[in-house]
Structure 1
């Protein structure tokens, strides 16, 4: 599922996978896409952290199953050091634990390795543009763990949907023509009503309610 506007004209992409053949295939396919520049690749967590600080890519395409450091821990470390970078997980694992953990870590999307190249490219465009992207199978995993029903106001529902799409408080305030403080108040109310205080939880709830297309 895709929630985003058009991607920036050029996307500086870094590939992270501990299998050289996988990186070769991704570099060959993605490097042929006009708006994508593959600026670097790494085969381990430590190498990724060093290179990311030098290259400052817009987006990292990160595998979960690496030998020295899993992609979820790597995502947390990357975003702690370089919060402006956006992370898209590309993984063979589709279980709920991995998906939700990746979202908690700050990843903005999760695509399965058996997806077609068109889906991976769509995910890169969506995440680079400031949105989120989850493969249909991943969305199904999230929907399989429904939240209980609670009553939100119409404005709270609007705010929740925009939060689930990855918008900041300031962006939501501008779109809804309300103050940032009002957005923060709505977020607090949503958290109190639903017991949800993470991007992963908000996306899962919005998907379950069929509020995201």
Structure 2
């Protein structure tokens, strides 16, 4: 593909120029990727994203002015159609869960290979969630398996949703109406006391409902 309009438009956000250079060099050779801008903090990322409308924002967490978690919350509020993929050195459960709650669609560590970084970008672009293997291990191994207060049908719907499927796809898969899926989704959120889709994904991972 040579037309930039047919490529995945990516905005890179990191406060270290050398890191930005390295990420850009890892991505720019892929014919499906177009780097549409670079930013050094979350505030600058929001400004550039408003103008250039990237599909994906690949963003660090620790940054001046507005950090990655704060920026993720702003993106969810102001630019909800743009998908966020966090690329960071932090592998602590605290950071991972904060980012999920803020609305990010993926979390990968800076030591991932170029191929995995591209896989993550393309997965998130397709509406899926993506976590590098090290992140998944942390979420699963450090979590306590709680009894799931959901019916079997709710667990099935939660699994399908956590795998990145739309309400319409779930409805087709289970031969029920989209409205029924939406009702189940609201009930699941109420039972689990979560407000976001990222919260549903987090719960599904921690309780073994979905395997990544």
- Name the TM tier (shorter chain): 0.7 to 0.9
Conserved? CA contact 2:14–2:40, under 8 Å? yes
- Structure number with greater CO (CA < 8 Å, separation at least 6) is 1
Equivalence for 1:178: 176
RMSD of aligned C-alpha atoms? 2.0
Which of 137, 142, 156 is the equivalent residue of 2:139? Answer: 142
Aligned pairs for 1:1-213 (under 5 A) are 10-143=7-140, 144-150=142-148, 152-207=150-205, 208-209=207-208, 211-213=210-212
**CA distance change for structure 1 residues 124 and 191 in 2, over 3 Å: closer, same or farther?**
same
**CA distance change for structure 1 residues 79 and 26 in 2, over 3 Å: closer, same or farther?**
same
How far does residue 193 in structure 1 lie from its aligned partner after superposition? 4.3
Alignment TM-score, normalising by the size of structure 2? 0.88
How far does residue 196 in structure 1 lie from its aligned partner after superposition? 4.1
SS at 2:138 equivalent: helix
CA deviations over 1:15-43 (Å, ceiling 9, x no partner): 00010001111111101111001111111
Conserved? CA contact 1:100–1:200, under 8 Å? no
How far does residue 169 in structure 1 lie from its aligned partner after superposition? 2.9
What is the distance in 2 between the residues matched to 1:194 and 1:73? 24
Mean CA deviation greater in 108-117 or 41-50 = 41-50
**CA distance change for structure 1 residues 110 and 130 in 2, over 3 Å: closer, same or farther?**
same
Query: Which segments of 5 or more consecutive residues in structure 2 lack a partner in the other structure?
Result: none
What is the distance in 1 between the residues matched to 2:94 and 2:69? 11
Query: Which segments of 5 or more consecutive residues in structure 1 lack a partner in the other structure?
Result: 1-7
What is the distance in 2 between the residues matched to 1:18 and 1:130? 27
SS at 2:75 equivalent: helix
**CA distance change for structure 1 residues 149 and 125 in 2, over 3 Å: closer, same or farther?**
same
**CA distance change for structure 1 residues 188 and 147 in 2, over 3 Å: closer, same or farther?**
farther
SS at 1:33 equivalent: coil
Mean CA deviation greater in 108-117 or 188-197 = 188-197
How far does residue 180 in structure 1 lie from its aligned partner after superposition? 2.4
Conserved? CA contact 2:8–2:56, under 8 Å? yes
How far does residue 113 in structure 1 lie from its aligned partner after superposition? 0.7
